[in-house]
Structure 1
Amino acid sequence: MGRYLLTRVWHSALTLVLASVVVFAAARALPGDPALAVAGEEADAETLAAVRADLGLDQPLWVQYARFARGLLSGDLGTSVRTGTPVTELIATTLPVTLWLATYAVAVAVVVGLALGVLAAVRRGTWVDQAVGGVSLLGLSVPSFWVGLLAILYLAVGLGWFPASGYVSPAEDPLRALHHLTLPALILGATTAAVVTRQTRASTLQQLGADHVRTARAKGAPRSAVLLRFALRNSLVVVVTLVGLQLGGLVSGAVVTERIFGLPGFGKLTLDAVFSRDYPVIQAVVLVVTVAYILINLVVDVLYTVLDPRIRVAGGTR
């Protein structure tokens, strides 16, 4: 097991190094001139040259990357070209907003997806199964930005059930924070809930037809115990994989939701950086998302060994 985890950590570190190279190159491939964004459209050639020298853009790319890599190793992500604020401060301010939103959205998606998926599997072939399938297909098909706008129009403005925009820190007021994040979390987690529902249904049906489940039923085990202890537990391996992948995607994909609901999160920071060609911020946000994916995948690998002993045995023999 230990050797397996060390191998995974080594692969993750190599992935992070390759990602830093790709991010560095991709940021500089964006159209536009950061010096022009800083100095203004009316700046002359001398001013632009001075700004490029100040930002280090006049140096060879390998020198720029070496400086960028040294900063990563020392925890220095640079300074925002647009605001002059250290990038670490910007991330420390905006990332918690997105993490709270993504965690809330995943929690809603898992609870709703597991409940609907198991219900559809137990009621296979009935109108309940068809209704759950229709709802999940709707969640996968309808664009989140459109649903978000409708939710603001009817649930926030029309009925007044939720705030239309704004953010409150959970440290300041947990209940108000929950109230402000509920509607964005529902919108953001709708697609994930639909995916979890469909995969849970398919995996549960497969487990209900397995030999050990039929044996447990033949021995007179209660239906609820068979469903929860055998079928659902084995189905959780698939669900954990989906949730791990979806959580990383929600952190990076919350841009639209945060924009619609006016949340000062990671998505807004990313858009502002792209529009202003803010290289240090662009590089930092992409690397943060990459690290998030890597860490989530490591956690998922560990959870596999908890949910399925066969995986633990295989991992221990590597």
Structure 2
Amino acid sequence: MLRFLVRRTLGAVVILLFISAFTFFLFFAIPHDPALLSCGKNCTPDNLKTIHHNLGLDHPVPVQYYLFMVRIFTGHHFAAGNCPAPCFGYSFANSEPVWPTLIDRLPTTLSLALGSMVVFLLFGLGTGMLAAWRRGSAVDKVLSSASLVLSSMQIYFVGPLVLALLVYNNHILDQPKYVPLTQNPVHWFSGLIIPWCVLSILFTANYTRMARSTMIEQLQEEHVRTARAKGMSGAYVFFRYAWRGSLIPIVTILGIDLGSLLGGAMITEWTFQLTGLGRLAIDSVTKTDLPMLMGVMLFSSAMIVLFNILVDAVYAFIDPRIRLS
């Protein structure tokens, strides 16, 4: 296990380096001077030259990338202030430190991701198991058809529709907003219930189809048929043998989905005006804010890579037939 984790960690470092380099150099392919964000309307060539120097934009792009990666671990003193490690620099747009901004936005994205995960796992796995249990019946056909319809829904369509029906016209639910859980748990729940449900629609459909197909496949395995031949009840065989064997592909996509959600559900946060990492990523792209964009990209990529490593490590505990070498 230790050798496996070390090998995967080294591979993750290489992946993150590649992503960071690709994002950094792609940014400078855009025909735009980021120093203009800080220069203001009455910008003079001397002021622009000073800003270039303060932001480190007067160095060649490879040197800038090298300094950026080194300063993540060592920190640096910028004109805007001291930046301790982990240091992603200061925003070009508002001169705010990147890392504290990421930490400040993280609770919103974390609440959105974990809450929606609970919803789509409950409904997705529940309906998928029910469809597999009643394979070929009317219940199976209805659930399978519903999952196909839901999988075609998009957040930017469903979100405004739900807001119009439940918030603006009928006033059944409150306007979505983020309230810290420690401040008011009731308002935290009521403010995120609509984003949770809307974000979960597409995931629920995917997990329904995945759970159904893997459960049906497991029910055809020899060890399941053997358990039935021994006289075990159908429910016991279903949950004791087939269900556990079907978890491998479900855990795989869950690790990828959860890592992506923690990196920022961009469309959902933009639709419901939630100030999380996804909204921050969109703002940094529109404002050509390289330090903030790099911070969000590296954090999001690290979450996806981390959860993939954890998923691979969990495999051996779910299925004893799998060994990590």
Higher relative helix content: 1
Deviates more, 1:80-89 or 1:201-210: 80-89
Q: In 1, distance between residues paired with 2:102 and 2:264?
A: 16
1:224-277: CA deviation from partner (whole Å, max 9, x where unpaired): 111111111111111101111111222345111111212111112112111111
Q: CA deviation at 1:164?
A: 2.0
Q: Give the Cα–Cα distance (whole angstroms) in 1 for the partners of residues 139 and 100 of structure 2.
A: 50
Q: TM-score, normalised by structure 2?
A: 0.92
The CA deviation at 1:125 is 1.4
1:224 lines up with 2:256 in the alignment: no
Whether 1:290 and 2:301 are equivalent positions in the alignment is yes
Task: Indicate conservation of the 8 Å contact 1:139/1:190, yes or no.
Answer: yes
How far apart are the structure 1 equivalents of 2:59 and 2:14? 26
Tell me the alpha carbon deviations over residues 24-47 of structure 1, each in whole angstroms, 9 at most, x when there is no partner: 112222342211222235523332
Partner SS, residue 172 of structure 1: coil
Which among 79, 82, 97 is matched to residue 93 of structure 2?
82
TM-score, reference length from structure 1: 0.94
Equivalent in 279, 290, 299 of residue 279 of structure 1:
290
CA contact (8 A) 1:27 1:283 kept: no
Mean Cα displacement is larger for which, 243-252 or 133-142? 243-252
Q: Partner of 2:105 in structure 1?
A: 94
The higher relative CO (CA closer than 8 Å, separation ≥ 6) is in 1
The aligned residue for residue 107 of structure 1 is 118
Whether the 8 Å contact between 1:270 and 1:285 is mirrored in structure 2 is yes
Change (3 A) 1:153 1:203: same
Could you list the runs of 4 or more consecutive aligned residues of structure 1 that deviate by over 6 angstroms after TM superposition? none
* Length, aligned pairs only: 314
| 1:311 Cα deviation from its structure 2 partner | 1.1
The answer (yes or no) to whether the contact 1:28–1:279 under 8 Å persists in 2 is no
| Aligned match of 1:22 | 22
Runs of 5+ unmatched residues, structure 2: 75-85
Question: Which whole-Å CA distance do the structure 2 matches of 1:31 and 1:272 have between them?
Answer: 18
Corresponding position of 1:181: 192
* Structure 1 stretch displaced more, 229-238 or 54-63: 54-63
What secondary structure, in the 3-state scheme, does the structure 1 residue paired with 2:95 have? coil
- Who is 1:311 aligned against? 322
- Residue type of the alignment partner of 1:23: T
State how far apart, in whole Å, the 2-side matches of 1:32 and 1:163 are: 41
Maintained 8 Å contact 2:264/2:279 = no
- Larger CA deviation: 23-32 vs 78-87: 23-32
CA distance in structure 2 between the partners assigned to 1:225 and 1:31 by the alignment: 63
Aligned to 2:202: 191
Residue 127 (structure 2) aligned to one of 108, 111, 116: 116
Specify the alignment match of 1:40 in structure 2.
Answer: 40
Aligned residues: CA RMSD = 1.5
**Given that residues 176 and 192 in structure 2 are in contact (C-alpha distance below 8 angstroms), is that contact kept between their aligned partners in structure 1?**
no
User: Percentage identity across aligned positions?
Assistant: 35
